[in-house]
Amino acid sequence: MSVQQFLEKHMLSRKIEDAVNAAVRAKSPDPVLFISNHMRKAVPSVITKIKARQILDSRGIPTVEVDLYTNKGMFRASAPSGDTTGMYEAVGIRDGDKGTYLGNSVTRAVKNVNEKISEALIGMDPTLQSQIDHAMIDLDKTEKKVPLYKYIADLSGETNLTLPVPAFTLISGGKHAGNHLAIQDIMILPIGASRFEEAVQMGSETYHHLKAVITEKYGAHGCNVGEDGGFAPNISSFREGLDLVKEAISRTGYDEKIKIAIDVAATDFCIGTKYDLDIKVPNKSGQNFKSVEDMLEIYKELCSEYPIVSIEDPFDKEDWEHVKHFSSLGICQVVGDGLLMSNPKRIQRAIQESACNALLLKVNQIGTVTEAIEVVKLAKDANWGVVTSHRCGETEDSFIADLSVGLATGQIKAGAPCRGERLAKYNQHALIFSSVVLAASQSERQTNLTYDCFELRKSLGIKQFMLVKIGGYHPDQRP
């Protein structure tokens, strides 16, 4: 190749001319340095070397760090790891030699990076992310990952997957807050939302309207929150809390589309056979006990005055007789939490005795996923509602979100639309929703996942809404 051919092949004359012109335009005080930097930028990036090593993570457990060299510099990254690992996530390879770092060393993974991965990636443009990722996926022989909710659905045999109707905690009381309110939660159910994201919007907007309502009435300190993220103004009666929530709902304009649910957690203020609604009020506690009959009347009145459609634990956890009587009135959904403790034997008994008509599913209370699947089947066979539930002490783990979809429980109670550990669940639903819509729009797979308020509305005797199917948005005009 002649000199002329070489210059033409690499377009050197033009590139050098461009660099000189740029240096002149910039009036660079050191044109040679300027031209050399300019030329470096004009060169396309290419991976030249990859070097992995073992380091320790924040817990002192080995993990992999990689230096990636290109013709433009060196870039460093390291991988996190955790305890909550599942069989369908990407596999983290550990050496397993108990004599070294208790089996956690990662020298095999480091070797893989330094040899196989490095060989595949050197010479590639580091900005072509998808090509790089596909080169690594081709090297990785592990099975394709399955979404967690789908895995749970496959385990349980559930095929009609639904995103649940969220019960957002708006006001906290009972053992979950330092105010004077004896009952534990006042929640809202956006039963008129046609898509999950609309339900979240309705929940969030109502929460923020409530904040304004409480601030106007009790000052900003009334907006401190309880353990589930609900506001905890210093109120002491059912009605004060319900009035605040009712006002917030009316400010949103959603009106009939939002209903109210309460968790009375009555065991916590049951003394003997009586209920002390003032149990948390200094100088009043112990002076005004309510009988079971009084409580029944209170519930009946409240259900007729407020849009309450669901009451959890209206009586002491061992008072089977009265919760049964209350359920038989058919006024609202009656959820068993303390009554059932997610325990298969208690659930079976409650079904036989028609003691309540909905299960609060606390998976950590039942202990295993297999048993959770069994009790959900029991409840569904009895035509009960199922509410997947968080705990007051939560983490940012979002497992129960996938569980609620995979078991199609239809309802979830995961706290306020506020605080990271509560939002982790609702945000996971949003992620499931968007991934399914995306998959459906790419026509890659068929999906039956719906956001279906219909069943809940039907069981609550509410009929005026329609179902919208995710992935195609076919309105289903069920009556």
Q: Which residues are annotated as a binding site for Mg(2+)?
A: 263, 312, 337
Using the minimum distance from each CB to ligand 2PG, give the nearer residue, 94 or 390: 390
Residue whose beta carbon is closest to ligand 2PG: 391
Q: How many residues bind ligand 2PG (CB under 6 A)?
A: 11
CB of 65 to ligand 2PG, least distance (A): 39
CA distances from 362 to 164, 317, 333 (A): 15, 16, 18
* SS3 track for the chain: CCHHHHHHHCCHHHHHHHHHHHHHHCCCCCHHHHHHHHHHHHCCCCEEEEEEEEEECCCCCEEEEEEEEECCEEEEEECCCCCCCCCCCCCCCCCCCCCCHHHCCCHHHHHHHHHHHHHHHCCCCCCCHHHHHHHHHHHCCCCCCCCHHHHHHHHHCCCCCEECEEEEEEEECHHHCCCCCCCCEEEEECCCCCCHHHHHHHHHHHHHHHHHHHHHHHCHHHHCECCCCCECCCCCCHHHHHHHHHHHHHHHCCHHHCEEEEECCHHHHEECCEECCCCCCCCCCCCCCECHHHHHHHHHHHHHHCCEEEEECCCCCCCHHHHHHHHHCCCCEEEECCCCCCCHHHHHHHHHHCCCCEEEECHHHHCCHHHHHHHHHHHHHCCCEEEEECCCCCCCCCHHHHHHHHCCCEEEEEECCCCHHHHHHHHHHHHHHHHHHHHHHCCCCCCCCEECCHHHHHHCCCCCCCEEECCCCCEECCC
Residues 237-266, interacting with Mg ion (CB under 5 A): 263
For residue 469, state whether it binds ligand 2PG (rule: CB under 6 A). no
For residue 187, state whether it binds ligand 2PG (rule: CB under 6 A). no
Using the minimum distance from each CB to Mg ion, give the nearer residue, 110 or 187: 187
Q: Which of 263, 276, 421, 452 binds ligand 2PG (CB under 6 A)?
A: 263
Q: How many angstroms separate the CA atoms of 23 and 82, rounded?
A: 51
For residue 389, state whether it binds ligand 2PG (rule: CB under 6 A). yes
Residue tagged active-site, from 257, 317, 362, 425: 362
Using the minimum distance from each CB to ligand 2PG, give the nearer residue, 34 or 384: 384
Using the minimum distance from each CB to ligand 2PG, give the nearer residue, 200 or 266: 266
CB of 338 to Mg ion, least distance (A): 6
CB of 137 to Mg ion, least distance (A): 44
Q: Which of 165, 244, 265, 453 binds ligand 2PG (CB under 6 A)?
A: 265
Residues 63-102, interacting with Mg ion (CB under 5 A): none
State the binding partner of 455 from Mg ion, ligand 2PG, none, CB within 5 to 8 A by kind: none
Residues 354-383, interacting with ligand 2PG (CB under 6 A): 360
Using the minimum distance from each CB to Mg ion, give the nearer residue, 317 or 457: 317
Single out the segment in contact with ligand 2PG by CB under 6 A; choices: 156-164, 191-199, 210-218, 388-396.
388-396
Q: Is 362 a catalytic residue?
A: yes
Using the minimum distance from each CB to Mg ion, give the nearer residue, 211 or 390: 390
For residue 337, state whether it binds ligand 2PG (rule: CB under 6 A). yes
| Tokens matching residue 149 | 């909710």
Q: Is 138 a catalytic residue?
A: no
CB of 254 to ligand 2PG, least distance (A): 24
- Burial of 177 from C-beta contacts in 10 A (0-12 / 13-18 / 19+): buried
Residue tagged active-site, from 95, 150, 185, 228: 228
Single out the segment in contact with ligand 2PG by CB under 6 A; choices: 285-293, 344-352, 385-393, 421-429.
385-393
Q: How many angstroms separate the CA atoms of 184 and 171, rounded?
A: 8
CB of 265 to ligand 2PG, least distance (A): 5
- Chain CA centroid to CA 396, Å: 8
Q: How many angstroms separate the CA atoms of 297 and 270, rounded?
A: 16
Using the minimum distance from each CB to Mg ion, give the nearer residue, 110 or 361: 361
Q: What does R_g of the chain's alpha carbons equal in angstroms?
A: 30
Q: Residues 378, 344: contact at Cβ < 8 Å?
A: yes
State the binding partner of 411 from ligand 2PG, Mg ion, none, CB within 5 to 8 A by kind: none
Single out the segment in contact with ligand 2PG by CB under 6 A; choices: 112-120, 247-255, 387-395, 471-479.
387-395
Using the minimum distance from each CB to ligand 2PG, give the nearer residue, 411 or 450: 411
- Over the window 390 to 419, marking each residue x when it contacts ligand 2PG by CB under 6 A and - when it does not, the resulting string is xxx---------------------------
CB of 308 to ligand 2PG, least distance (A): 16
- Over the window 332 to 351, marking each residue x when it contacts Mg ion by CB under 5 A and - when it does not, the resulting string is -----x--------------
Residues 221-240, interacting with ligand 2PG (CB under 6 A): 228
Q: How many angstroms separate the CA atoms of 230 and 226, rounded?
A: 6
Residues of the shown chain interacting with ligand 2PG in the complex, contacts defined by CB under 6 A:
184-185, 228, 263, 265, 337, 360, 389-392
Residues of the shown chain interacting with Mg ion in the complex, contacts defined by CB under 5 A:
263, 337
Query: Mind telling me the catalytic residues?
Result: 228, 362
